[in-house]
Each structure stands twice: as C-alpha cells, then as structure tokens.
Amino acid sequence: MSFDEKFAALVQRLPSLRGNLQTEEATKNALVMPFILALGYDIFNPKEVVPEFTADVGIKKGEKVDYAILNDEEIILLVECKKAGVDLRDAEMSQLFRYFSVTKARITILTNGIQYRFYSDLEEPNKMDQRPFLELDLEDPRPNLVKEVKKLAKDDFDLEEVLSTASELKYTSAIKKILAEQYESPDEDFCRYFFTQVNPRSRWIGTAKETFIPLVEKGLHQFISEKVSDRLLSALETEGEPSKGVQEDKPQVEISDDEDSGIVTTEEELQAFRIVQAIAAKVVDPERIAHRDAKTYMSVFFEDNNRKPICRFWFNTRQKHLGTFDANKQETKNSIESVADIYQYSEQIISAIQSYASQS
C-alpha cells in the first residue's frame, strides 16, 4: 500500500478508536505506530525505528524519546508521544529540545496521535524552534499539509526539500491563525489600523473605539462572505449556461445516451449538483466532482470514482432526500424541502471530499 492509502485508512479508523485511547501506550499502538508505518518505516526493524531511544545529554542520564527513526543508520526524525486528548501547546518538550542538539535529526515530531506538530531549527542552527513549522490534524487532514508530510516518507525522504518549504509553512500558518483569531474577535490594535486608514485626522479614543470595533468585525465578516460567494458563483458557472438575467422558458433535462434506459436528468438535479460543486470549491477544484444518474437517484462522486461517493439526490418522489455518507460509506437519507437545503449539509459533504482528496 502507498502512503496515501495507509494514511487514508488511518484517518478513516480514527472515529472508531477515539473513545478507547485512555493511555499513552494505547495512543502509540493505535495511532502513532500506524502513522510511522504509513511513512514507510518498519516499526519492527530497530535499524529503522528505535522505540524508547536513549542518548545521555549532559547531566541528564537515561532520558528517553519515544521513537527515533533512522535512514542509513543516521537519525533523521525524533518522535515524542503524548496521550490522545493532551493539549500539545501545554505538553512538556524538554527531551526533544535536548535530543535535537545532540543528534543529527533536523526534524522532530510532537504528537498525541491525532495532532502532529513538526519542528526544525529554522531560527537558530542546531536549536529546535519553539514553534512548529507544520501542524497536521487527522480529524481535519488538509490535502496541502498531507502532501508536505509525505515528503518525510521513507521512499520520498528529501530533507532539503522539506526544509526549503518549512520556513514558508511556518509563517503562513501563523498568519492564518492570526487572521482566524481576528475574524472571530478583532482586537484593538487590529481595529486601530483600519480606523487610522479611513479616519486619518481623528483620534482613536473613547466613543470612537466603541463605535468602530463592531464595524471592523462586521466589515470583515461581510468581506469574507462576499469572497466565498464570488467563488461559489464562479463554480456554478458552466459552459452553455444562460447569461445572468436570462430565464429559460422551460426546465432543461439531459437524457441518457441509452434511449431505453428511462433515465432523465432534470434541471433540479443539475442545480443540486452545481451546489455540491460550489461547496466542494472550498477545498478542491470543483472539476473533480462528477455525477452519474440512475432511474431512482443521482449519485455524486469524487473524480468520477464509484468507490468514492459524496452524496445522492433522491428527487423522484414527493419528499426529496439528500443521501450523505459517513467514514464507512454508510448512507444516511436526509429530508430536504428544496435543493438550497443542501447547503445545510456542507460539513458532511466536505468531510467526504477531504477523506478522498487525502488519498490522491
């Protein structure tokens, strides 16, 4: 199995394991060791993976790091594990800091089995950075981050390539976190910047603050919403679609190439499909979303692969249903009144798409 296949299998297993990870050892066995295996390293071969790795550091004797990963007898990765559920921001990392300086490893990983934090020495040579350059969450495996982690796999290991992008990843991730925090609750300094831009002769005091801070929050939310709407509208535009403001005299349909099939693709189904494409545009190229019609329902697949179902439209009865799929590809039929209600199930649709995208 490839890295993508092993990683996808681990992500799909996570929900069923989540409630049983009560100890650090359980976390290692259920999640961390399969993660190392996905990277292509043989956890049963001490020439590749050394558990409970010990290297005396100064006056510290007998301290251990959970795993040292080797390539050509050189340590290339150090992994420190915590129990699932532990907040990695508060985790003790003293061993990693000390071991980083006495081994040739340039990459260290701190994990609770679900979240993985990757560190290097971007700020000062041979001294592990305080902040990670990459953070991966198995409950939200962003394809662009999975792609970066794959560079650490045994068959693809390229330290220079990893380090060449590490600095950019570190700062773009930090910037996105700041923007997310400001989006939720803009602070005074953030709001002051906009105030001075639109009111260069006014002073940032008293009632000005009270009035302007809510305006910044509202303006920021509206700006993001408009950008998302623009992207959705762009995704909905398809070749041959009538120009804006032009109404068709009657609904258009697509007929199956097989004249005897009895399959009729309605405009309502096509509209629903475009909505799914629009939702998908948040995380992937909407062109990777495809549909296939049947007599009783229309299916939507990722990359036109019937083993990668995203949803189904059950529109051929009085009560419409949207079928959504869980991690085990079990379908749930959700009653909807109109195709617009599909937006209410964006989370399930995106979750399915991301699970397949991480395998690509």
* Res. 346: pLDDT tops 80: yes
Q: Going by CATH, does the domain composed of 3-179 fall within 3.90.550.10?
A: no
- Comparing 56-65, 113-122, 272-281, the range with the smallest average pLDDT is 56-65
Tell me the two tokens of residue 319: 């009560």
Rounded Cα–Cα distance for residues 116 and 20 (Å): 19
* Res. 37: pLDDT tops 80: yes
If DSSP codes are grouped into helix, strand and coil, which group holds residue 203? coil
pLDDT score recorded for residue 8: 86
* Res. 21: pLDDT tops 80: yes
Do 111 and 85 touch, CB atoms closer than 8 A? no
Q: Which residue has the higher pLDDT, 352 or 72?
A: 352
* Res. 360: pLDDT tops 90: no
Question: What is the residue type of 302?
Answer: F
At 154-208, the pLDDT tens digits run 887 878 888 878 877 888 878 888 888 888 888 889 998 898 888 888 888 888 7
Band of pLDDT at residue 249, cut at 50, 70 and 90 = very low
pLDDT score recorded for residue 42: 93
Band of pLDDT at residue 232, cut at 50, 70 and 90 = low
Question: In the chain, count of helices (H) and strands (E)?
Answer: 10, 13
Q: Which residue has the higher pLDDT, 80 or 104?
A: 80
DSSP string over 317-358: SSSEEEEEE-TT--EEEEEESSGGGGGGGHHHHHHHHHHHHT
- Rounded to 5°, the CA angle 143-146-149 comes to 160
The domain spans of the chain are 3-179, 185-236, 254-357
Rounded Cα–Cα distance for residues 161 and 142 (Å): 20
pLDDT score recorded for residue 261: 57
Whether pTM exceeds 0.75: no
